[in-house]
């Protein structure tokens, strides 16, 4: 049995094959969308276009991180208090 110090695992291969793909249909849909865009008739199925909200998502993420940091600090203070109490009891005896 050989020992390998610098072992790098190989990536797994992605071998997805769709069950059915109609190239003609895809091309027809692409052409329809392009023509609708040129004519100004671009109506999505949802009725609106996607508007990214990066700033709002970042704020939400930062709030979650702030809560986690506060909880972590509180947990650390509780553990420290318990350890100090146990140490005080041990030295008192």
Compute CA distances 20 → 15, 30, 31, whole Å.
Answer: 15, 18, 20
Residue 5 predicted with pLDDT over 80: no
Whether the predicted model's global pTM rises above the 0.75 cut: no
At 13-65, the pLDDT tens digits run 888 777 887 889 989 999 998 998 888 876 655 556 677 788 888 888 888 88
Q: Which SS3 state, helix, strand or coil, does residue 92 take?
A: helix
User: Distance of CA 47 to CAs 36, 40, 41, 51, 53, Å?
Assistant: 14, 14, 12, 13, 18
At 89 the pLDDT is 93
pLDDT > 70? residue 2: no
Q: Domain ranges for the chain, please list them.
A: 58-93
Q: Rounded CA gap, 30 and 36, in Å?
A: 10
């Amino acid at each position: 049995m050989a020992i390998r110090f610098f072992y790098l695992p190989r990536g797994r291969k992605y071998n997805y094959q769709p069950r059915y793909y109609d190239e003609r249909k895809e091309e027809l849909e692409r052409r329809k969308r392009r023509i609708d865009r040129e004519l100004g008739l671009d109506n999505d199925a949802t009725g609106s276009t996607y508007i990214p909200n990066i700033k709002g998502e970042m704020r939400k993420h930062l709030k979650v991180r702030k809560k986690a940091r506060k909880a972590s600090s509180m947990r650390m203070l509780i553990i420290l208090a318990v350890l100090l109490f146990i140490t005080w009891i041990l030295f008192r005896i």
